[in-house]
């Protein structure tokens, strides 16, 4: 019997580089200048970082260690202050090493092997990996798409949920579509979950980043709107402060008080078994959050500038693609003609020195061919990359 027969990891064939990555790697070896419009690492795109207070940092590193399954009180108080919401206190906050780890822990909390959670596509593809690693089945429904305006299909949600469903995973602003879940929709979603006795998990890591300063939507965290069921809002330093290297995420738990208390007590058993969050970053988190705008303000300025540039380019040039409306996040979605194959187009672009992601990677349907472009790239690279992308698309789509 092969030793990895029961592994939760993919087969080695599935771990091979995909065609888009292989084409980009091949282009890079030629030595020509290319334009990577897929970057999501905020530390590699020329954005300012939060300056470290060396004395404070030294104190955090040398401080004595005190194990805490929930996380240090000073850290949780700083996160509660970040939200500045009367219903958010340190007592309902749980620390994790990342939001990905948070989702894994919540799946352990809520699900037995073979249970199911539901999400709406297009969305973040890492959810497939996280659920698979916990032996949980990820069921998917398609968001309703009206020319790039997105909405939850509650009829489809009703059809897919069953006695094995334990949670619904939502992302707002969504990655990559960038749409915010409206207030009435998040209220309806939470009500649906409470009625069906399932949890609602809302990933809000991009909540600080709005492409439209006047965009509506609920005040973060989403969970603070509800006193029924179990609603958990997730975020972390990676996006809030542009610090993915300093591993700290968190969850805010709201809903029916008795359910919240039991959830957090059970979760402490899970987190106490690993104690994965560094004591150093917990002690530094209040400082990072206090100075978060040193990163988030210039990041917001850049994504808005690039988003305007993309729209302006599409309006002032003869192109066969459109830019979907987005409310927030770090991505823009370029919609291709319905007959195009977005993965094939992305491969051709990579061969010509422009790296983007095809919508296929995020769960776009074949009749929704889309290219996903990062908005956090330096504006000069972004502009040059868009110009070359337009040239190649003109050749491919004409």
Please list the residues that pair with 373 across neighbouring strands. Answer: 332
CA–CA separation, 375 and 378 (whole Å): 8
C-alpha distances in angstroms, 320 versus 129, 148, 339? 34, 16, 12
pLDDT at 215: 62
What burial class does residue 256 get, using C-beta atoms within 10 Å of its C-beta: 0-12 exposed, 13-18 middle, 19+ buried?
middle
Task: Tell me if 243 sits within 8 A of 50, measured CB to CB.
Answer: yes
Q: What angle do CA 37, 299, 387 make, to 5 degrees?
A: 30
Query: 141: helix, coil or strand?
Result: strand
Whole-number pLDDT of residue 216: 56
pLDDT tens for the 398 residues of the chain, in order: 578 777 788 888 778 889 999 999 999 998 889 999 999 999 999 999 999 888 998 988 888 888 899 999 999 999 999 999 999 999 999 999 999 999 999 999 999 999 999 999 999 999 999 999 999 999 999 999 987 689 999 999 999 999 999 999 999 999 999 999 999 999 999 999 999 999 999 999 999 999 987 765 567 788 888 999 999 999 999 999 999 999 999 999 999 999 999 999 999 999 999 999 999 999 999 999 999 999 999 999 999 999 999 999 999 998 989 999 999 999 999 999 999 999 999 999 999 999 999 999 999 999 999 999 999 999 999 999 999 999 999 999 88
Cα–Cα distance list, 71 to 49, 103, 168 (Å): 25, 17, 25
Sign of the torsion angle spanned by Cα atoms 75, 79, 84, 85 = negative
- Where do runs of H (alpha helix) occur along the chain? 19-28, 54-62, 73-83, 99-110, 126-133, 154-160, 183-195, 237-240, 257-272, 279-290, 293-316, 342-351, 379-397
pTM of the model: 0.95
Which domains does the chain possess?
Answer: 17-48+294-397 (3.90.1150.10), 54-290 (3.40.640.10)
How far, in Å, CA of 354 to CA of 344, rounded?
13
């Amino acid at each position: 019997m092969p030793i990895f027969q029961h592994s939760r990891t993919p087969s080695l064939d599935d771990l091979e580089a995909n065609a888009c990555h292989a084409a980009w790697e091949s282009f890079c070896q030629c030595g020509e200048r290319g334009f990577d419009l897929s970057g999501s690492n905020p530390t590699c795109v020329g954005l300012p970082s939060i300056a470290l207070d060396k004395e404070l940092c030294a104190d955090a590193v040398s401080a004595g260690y005190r194990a805490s399954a929930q996380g240090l009180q000073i850290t949780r108080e700083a996160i509660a202050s970040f939200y500045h919401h009367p219903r958010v206190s340190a007592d309902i906050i749980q620390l994790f090493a990342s939001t990905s780890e948070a989702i894994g822990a919540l799946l352990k909390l809520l699900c037995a092997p073979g249970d199911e959670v539901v999400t709406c596509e297009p969305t973040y593809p890492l959810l497939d990996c996280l659920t698979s690693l916990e032996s949980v089945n990820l069921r998917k429904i398609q968001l309703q798409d009206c020319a790039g305006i997105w909405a939850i299909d509650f009829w489809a949600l009703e059809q897919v949920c069953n006695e094995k469903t334990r949670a619904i995973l939502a992302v707002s602003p969504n990655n990559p579509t960038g749409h915010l879940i409206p207030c009435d929709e998040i209220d309806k979603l939470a009500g649906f979950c409470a009625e069906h006795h399932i949890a609602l998990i809302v990933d809000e890591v991009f909540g600080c980043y709005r492409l439209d300063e006047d965009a509506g939507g609920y005040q973060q965290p989403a969970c603070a709107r509800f006193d029924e069921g179990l609603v958990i809002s997730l975020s972390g330093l990676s996006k809030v402060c542009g610090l993915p290297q300093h591993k700290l995420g968190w969850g805010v738990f709201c809903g029916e008080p008795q359910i919240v208390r039991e959830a957090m007590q059970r979760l402490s058993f899970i987190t106490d078994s690993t104690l994965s969050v560094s004591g150093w970053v917990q002690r530094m988190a209040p400082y990072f959050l206090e100075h978060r705008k040193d990163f988030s303000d210039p990041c917001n300025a850049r994504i808005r500038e690039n988003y305007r540039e993309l729209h302006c380019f599409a309006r002032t040039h003869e192109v066969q693609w459109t830019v979907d409306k987005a409310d927030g996040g770090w991505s823009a979605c370029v919609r291709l003609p319905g007959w195009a194959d977005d993965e094939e187009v992305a491969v051709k672009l990579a061969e010509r020195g422009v790296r983007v992601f095809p919508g296929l990677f995020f769960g776009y349907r074949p009749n929704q061919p889309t290219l996903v472009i990062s908005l956090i790239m330096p504006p000069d690279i972004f502009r040059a990359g868009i110009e070359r992308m337009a040239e190649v698309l003109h050749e491919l789509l004409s």
